[in-house]
Structure 1
Amino acid sequence: MTSTSAGGEQQDYIGKNSMDSYEVKKVTAPVNWETDVPGSKSITNRALLLAALCREQVRLQGVLFSDDSRHFLSSLQSLGYEVQIDEAACAVEVHGHGGSLPVTSGEIHVGSAGTAARFLTAMLGVAEGTFVIQASEQMKKRPMKPLFEALLSLGASVEWLGAAWHLPVRITGAGAHIRNLSEQAVLNLDISESTQFLSAFLLIAPLFPYGIRIHITSAKTDGSYIRITRRMMEEFGVEAVFDGCDYMVQAAGGYQRSGYQIEPDVSGACYFYAAAAMTGGSAKVHHVHWSSMQGDMKFLKLLEQMGCTLTEEDDGIRLNGPSDGLKGLKVDMNDFSDQALTLAAIAPYASSDVTITHIGHIRGQECDRLHAIVMNLKNAGITCEEGDDWVCIHPGKPQPCRIETFDDHRVAMAFAVMGLGCDGIEILNPGCCKKTFENYFVVLDSLLKH
């Protein structure tokens, strides 16, 4: 059995690999792995905002340190929040400022972090003061319009510093107007492109003196990441109620918490579980349990449908892949679409077609992920078809090719798993994994060395 940890400083990749590309080593036997993964990005960045909105000092443990979370941390510091960072201990202490910001002007840079872009834009849009929000070229292309429309309806003003309805912007918050409200705030919100728009307004709900009612205008009204947001809000002392159409947060005393433990990243764990499933091997990721609030736990159940067995042990869930190969299936992955790439990458090894549906929204993420799936599979000689929101992948043997990652961490990590089962898969720009799991290829190398 091979065991490794996700901790430690970022390193260069071994063997023939470099920061420009990573040549995946084909395994010659079923994998037998145990590993750790870093903290959840989704939970880390929600916890950072919740801590900032507390009235006290909050110690966060199990924090993910990656490109996304570092941009969130630096943005909080640029806004005047006092933050102590201990990367070695995976810990951060945030001195909360309650219902107001420490400053009334400033500039932040959210990088490519969708959570930072949506959550902090919402917070600044209901604060007092004028702020500039900068972003990476990648983030400048991602959807923001429903968030801006909602902020404008609340009284914020926005100056586009680039393309309309996109970052970068100069935003003057509606804080003075909101502070003088005499009743519950009401807004309409379309979350078809991203549930982060709703999570953003739920997280800042305590800033509204009489609470807020958010009416969802899109067909999609709920999702796994919204449930993470609501659960974490409750853990910080504020309840968000959903009646099937509207989300309501009543006026409350604000968030309260002195410490918070962040779960391991199930999204990152899924790549190691997928490797075991694909090779008929075994993998256990430490501290991943069924009690997790993360929606990507559904991916483990999906692998079970494909023939894997799952066992919860004291220190984590163990997956054993089928000795006779994975079964094909048709699955709606709308609610755990980050793993659509992972399933697509192992789909060629299934005994029959794999069809993934209701994932049209992934075209507007770090890249057009549906296009990335189809292009890279076809380059590897795999037959597949796509529609606006679906892809069908036929069984086949991947041929040597270079994987174009489009600077998307999930493309890189998923297609590395495909390369474990065949020769000649080279991942371009593996450094893009710094967004959420900067040591991913170091961990993979360590597991493959033994």
Structure 2
Amino acid sequence: MEKYRVKSIFNNIESSEVIRVKVPGSKSITNRALLIAALADGESRLSGALFSNDAKNMIDCLNVLGIKTDMDEENETIILQGCGGKIPVKEASINVGSAGTAARFITALLAFSGGIYHLDSSEQMKKRPMKPFLDALISLGVIIKYDEIEGHFPFTLDSREVRGGEIRLDTSISSQFLSAVIMTGFLLKGGLKTIITGGRESLPYVNMTVKVMEDFGVTVDIDNEDGLISYILKEGKGYMARKYDIEPDVSAACYFYAMAEILGCRACVEGVHLDSIQGDIEFVKLLKKMGASLSEDEHGIVFQGAEEGNYEGIEANLNSFSDQALTLAAISVFAKSPTKITGVAHICLQESNRLIAIKTELEKLGIRTKMGKGEITIFPNRMDDTEVEIETYEDHRVAMAFSLIGLRRDGIVINNPECSAKTFKDYFRVLDGITATLSL
């Protein structure tokens, strides 16, 4: 499917209508659990796993390294035979594709495993910076030889002389750098102390990493000395295999809560609760400031959008749940006042330059924006229904977020909708079901 024409349904639904959906398992938790289970002692069974392109890339990398996996996509289950902290294959070529989590997590694993590995990626991933992360690994004795551009894929990594110790790590580009080293730091002789630098105001994805690690039996010591936070991993004690249930993906669920806000109806995403360990749950709470209301039942959060889709814009710092910057931008075009999104400088370095994507695609629709360093202000305006093709930049979140606008404004066409498969391959099929049901 090269293009997807969104069906506008705003004028055909009642506030009592309910969007009921089930979303895939969390990409973030799935890829953390895959790496941890691969290193565990024994057989682990992951239930509710996400079979996205990113997760499949991660599994392919683990298979090349000698980790045996048994996948049951229909039942959302993965069984892994853990290696007890000793990667079987000590020399290999790995391709992480476009998966940011695999790129960071697998690199740290190989840096601490005492072997020689060549790592390559997609052209998209080659553009994403890795230098602060790789420099930290080099300081521990890892030798890295770059094939093309310093600080980027592809490269050869020699970790035969790696040693434990202390590193400083800048997390301003990506907190995945930190998650990667704390999940694998116990492999190093003498352990690893990581001192955090950089301007990220909070690290919810790292908190998630720590929680999953603890569920598999490894504790991270967190120290705060003179205002510097350190994560400390002791040598030796590894993960224990277990059965592990993966939460539904809150990042994916947010698109359906956003639909309810835009349309003025209700939404319930099966299994998503307010006590989720995923950072994007804060976005759901943020929408209360735009007139939404929340309650819970045994199925999950019951979200009620603002009455008749009538809501004010807001100013919000999305530093700790920046995957929803595009989602908030989509909601903001129908607000009664401007919306300012701040704290998101790092989204310029993700699958696409997401700030530029917001500005460029909204201006196609006649929406004025003002962009600053790490922020953007969106000024809602009456839109016509002229057909507009939305460029998605091979970015799954651009595709899914801009489809929301088409539910209330005729003429939205999403180019390359299949890029959503990175995290939610059936998103547009699910959207078809929603528009068909609610507009009856």
Shorter chain as normaliser: what TM range? Answer: over 0.9
1:98 — aligned with what?
84
- SS of the aligned residue for 1:384 comes to strand
The aligned residue for residue 20 of structure 1 is 2
- CA shift, 1:242, in A, is 2.2
Q: 1:273 to 1:177 in 2, by over 3 A?
A: closer
C-alpha change, 1:144 and 1:77, in structure 2 (3 Å) is same
Which of residues 45, 59, 62 in structure 2 aligns to 1:76?
Answer: 62
Partner amino acid, structure 2, of 1:306: M
TM-score when scaled to structure 2?
0.95
Check whether the contact 2:187–2:236 (CA below 8 A) recurs between aligned residues.
no
| Secondary structure of 2:139's aligned partner | helix
State the shift of 1:241 in Å. Answer: 2.4
Aligned residue in 1 for 2:402: 415
Q: Matched residues in 2 for 1:296 and 1:396: separation?
A: 28
* 1:266 counterpart residue number: 250
The separation in 2 between residues aligned to 1:106 and 1:216, in whole angstroms, is 31
Q: 1 CA distance for matches of 2:136 and 2:419? A: 32
Task: Give the distance between the partners of 2:338 and 2:371, measured in 1 at CA.
Answer: 13
1:29 corresponds to 2:43: no
Match of 1:433 among 406, 409, 420: 420
Contact 2:111 2:162 (C-alpha < 8 Å) held by counterparts = no
User: 1:218: which partner in 2?
Assistant: 198
Residues 21 and 382 (structure 1), Cα distance of their counterparts in 2 relative to 1, 3 Å cut: same
Matching of residues 62-211 of structure 1 within 5 Å: 62-174=48-160, 176-178=161-163, 185-211=165-191
RMSD (CA atoms):
1.2
Task: Specify the code of the residue in structure 1 equivalent to 2:7.
Answer: K
Give the direction of change, closer, same or farther, for the CA distance of 1:417–1:221 in structure 2 (3 Å limit).
Answer: closer
| Maintained 8 Å contact 1:397/1:422 | no
User: What is the 5 A alignment of 1:320-339?
Assistant: 320-324=304-308, 325-339=310-324
**What letter corresponds to residue 237 of structure 2 in structure 1?**
G
Deviation at 1:250, TM superposition (A): 2.5
Q: CA deviation at 1:397?
A: 3.0
Equivalent residue for 1:229, pick from 209, 231, 234 = 209
Q: Distance in 1 between matches of 2:254 and 2:162?
A: 45
Say if 2:337 is the partner of 1:355: no
Give the distance between the partners of 1:164 and 1:177, measured in 2 at CA.
Answer: 20
User: Could you say if the C-alpha distance between residues 135 and 441 of structure 1 is closer, same or farther in structure 2, counting changes exceeding 3 Å?
Assistant: same
Which residue is equivalent to 1:6? Answer: none
Alpha-carbon offset, residue 208 of structure 1: 2.0
Q: Deviations over 1:74-109 (max 9, x none)?
A: 110011111111111111111111221111111111
Taking the TM superposition and a 5 Å limit, the aligned residue runs for 1:368-407 are 368-399=353-384, 400=386, 401-407=388-394
| 2:114 and 2:162 in contact (8 A); partners too | no
Q: What SS does structure 1 have at the residue aligned with 2:74?
A: coil
Shift of residue 330 of structure 1? 0.4
Q: TM-score, normalised by structure 1?
A: 0.93
State the shift of 1:251 in Å. 3.2
In structure 1, runs of 5+ residues without a counterpart are 1-18
* Among candidates 424, 431, 435, match of residue 444 of structure 1: 431
Task: Measure, in 2, the Cα distance between the counterparts of 1:448 and 1:364.
Answer: 33
Count how many residue pairs are aligned between Structure 1 and Structure 2: 426
Query: Alignment partner of 1:349: what SS?
Result: coil
Identical-pair percentage: 44
Maintained 8 Å contact 1:273/1:319: yes
Quote the offset at 1:168 in angstroms: 1.0
Q: CA deviation at 1:347?
A: 0.3
Q: Contact 1:352–1:394 (CA<8 Å) still a contact in 2?
A: yes
Change beyond 3 A, Cα 1:50–1:398? farther
Relative distance call for 1:43 and 1:208 in structure 2 (3 A) is same
